């Protein structure tokens, strides 16, 4: 019996030494090597799912670049610009890429907004419809093939959002617009070839297409068009009333999902990976779950000149 207890004590002592050495090994490798500006989001590692939190720093950087062009006054289409969203945190951020791919915001999701100030410093409000011209007629369309990262994204719910997992240090560039006069319908009507198939309706389809082209052409009569400028998109709906110096700022705000990248301990053999994970969680290095972040990323305020 004494011999058994002695052997057990020796094994327990050796096990303690091995665990202690392994603990210090894990602790020594726990420090992150990420050197991005927002390395620590201030997330409680023991936190489970709950209300979105405000991070302790800004994990996303929104950049607004203006084309070398002078926008006209009293025009529906004005400032040619480009947007870039960069992940400056050490976490993987799931963002909605819809505003960057198609220039529109998903219902209830993160959104892009513009703030524009006139020469007198007062804000210029966006019109709810692109007056004074027919709201369904558009001169430009987004080039959905421009950015390969955004090309094959698909929606996951009825909101129309396009989730994109933005890795630490990664950035996405908004799709530019090209000149493509078209009628922007509120509903996705089927093509005429599907609605009126066969040779029987060939002449009717031709006439309807001609009527549509004429309607688009008339809808753009008198519209002051400048551009397009390759690689840029146009500001739509902000009618700038007179010449002068204006200011603009872009804002990306809403809720994004943050998760930690794969940790090195997951490559350890079983059960060392589980033990190392528990050690890292106890030291506050690993989160229990991903978290939702309430963010508002503002670009720098840029100035531009408007002419007649």
Cis peptide before 271 (omega within 30 of 0): yes
Q: Is the pLDDT of residue 41 over 90?
A: no
pLDDT at 17: 66
Containing structural domain, residue 265: 60-179+228-306
Instruction: With respect to residue 188, please indicate whether it lies within any of the assigned structural domains.
Output: no
Instruction: Copy the structure tokens of residue 42.
Output: 């201030």
pLDDT at 132: 42
pTM here is 0.78
Tell me, what CATH number does 265's domain have?
2.60.40.2970
Instruction: With respect to residue 34, please indicate whether it lies within any of the assigned structural domains.
Output: no
Tell me which of 35 and 64 has the higher pLDDT: 64
Which value, to the nearest 10 degrees, does the dihedral of the CA atoms of residues 299, 305, 306, 307 take?
-160
Tell me which of 236 and 13 has the higher pLDDT: 236
Contact (Cβ atoms closer than 8 angstroms) between residue 97 and residue 172: yes
Q: Is the pLDDT of residue 65 over 90?
A: yes
- pLDDT tens track for 241-294: 899 999 999 999 999 988 876 555 455 566 655 555 555 555 455 555 678 899
Instruction: With respect to residue 216, please indicate whether it lies within any of the assigned structural domains.
Output: no
pLDDT at 25: 54
Instruction: With respect to residue 141, please indicate whether it lies within any of the assigned structural domains.
Output: yes
Count structural domains, the chain.
1
Query: Residue 108 CB: number of other CB atoms within 10 A?
Result: 14
User: How many whole angstroms separate alpha carbon 156 and alpha carbon 92?
Assistant: 19
Instruction: With respect to residue 252, please indicate whether it lies within any of the assigned structural domains.
Output: yes
pLDDT interval class at 119 (50, 70, 90): very high
pLDDT average, residue stretch 6-12: 61
User: How many whole angstroms separate alpha carbon 231 and alpha carbon 173?
Assistant: 10
Least confident of 37-51, 57-71, 198-212: 37-51
- pLDDT tens track for 74-106: 888 889 999 999 999 988 999 999 999 998 888
Instruction: With respect to residue 98, please indicate whether it lies within any of the assigned structural domains.
Output: yes
Instruction: With respect to residue 219, please indicate whether it lies within any of the assigned structural domains.
Output: no
- pLDDT tens track for 150-206: 988 877 666 778 899 999 999 999 999 999 888 776 556 677 777 778 888 788 878
Instruction: With respect to residue 42, please indicate whether it lies within any of the assigned structural domains.
Output: no
Q: Is the pLDDT of residue 43 over 50?
A: yes
Report which DSSP code applies to 244: E
255 φ, ψ (degrees, to nearest 5): -115, 130
């Amino acid at each position: 019996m004494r011999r058994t207890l002695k052997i057990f004590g020796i094994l327990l002592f050796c096990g303690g030494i091995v665990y202690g050495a392994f603990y210090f090994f894990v602790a020594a490798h726990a420090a992150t090597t990420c050197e991005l500006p927002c390395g620590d989001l201030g997330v409680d590692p023991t936190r489970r799912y709950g209300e979105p939190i405000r991070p302790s720093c800004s994990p996303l950087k929104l950049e607004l670049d203006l084309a070398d062009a002078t926008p006209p006054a009293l025009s529906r289409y004005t400032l040619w610009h480009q947007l870039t969203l960069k992940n400056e945190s050490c976490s993987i951020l799931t963002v909605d890429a819809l505003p960057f791919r198609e220039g529109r915001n998903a219902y209830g999701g993160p959104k892009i907004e513009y703030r524009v100030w006139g020469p007198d410093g007062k804000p210029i409000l966006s019109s709810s419809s692109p007056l004074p011209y027919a709201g369904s007629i558009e001169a430009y369309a987004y080039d959905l093939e421009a950015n390969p990262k955004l090309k094959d994204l698909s929606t996951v719910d009825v909101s129309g959002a396009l989730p994109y997992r933005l890795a630490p240090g990664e950035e996405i560039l908004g799709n530019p617009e090209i000149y493509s006069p078209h009628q922007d319908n509120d509903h996705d009507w089927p093509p005429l070839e599907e609605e009126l198939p066969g040779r029987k309706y060939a002449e009717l389809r031709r006439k309807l297409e001609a009527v549509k082209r004429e309607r688009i052409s008339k809808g753009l009569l008198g519209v002051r068009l400048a551009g397009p400028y390759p690689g840029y998109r146009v500001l739509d709906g902000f009618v700038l009333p007179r010449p002068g110096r204006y200011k603009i700022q872009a804002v990306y705000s809403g809720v994004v999902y943050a998760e930690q990248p794969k940790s090195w301990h997951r490559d350890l053999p079983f059960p060392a990976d589980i033990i190392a994970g528990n050690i890292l969680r106890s030291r506050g290095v690993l989160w229990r779950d991903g978290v939702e972040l309430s963010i508002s990323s503002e670009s720098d305020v840029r100035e531009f000149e408007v002419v007649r």
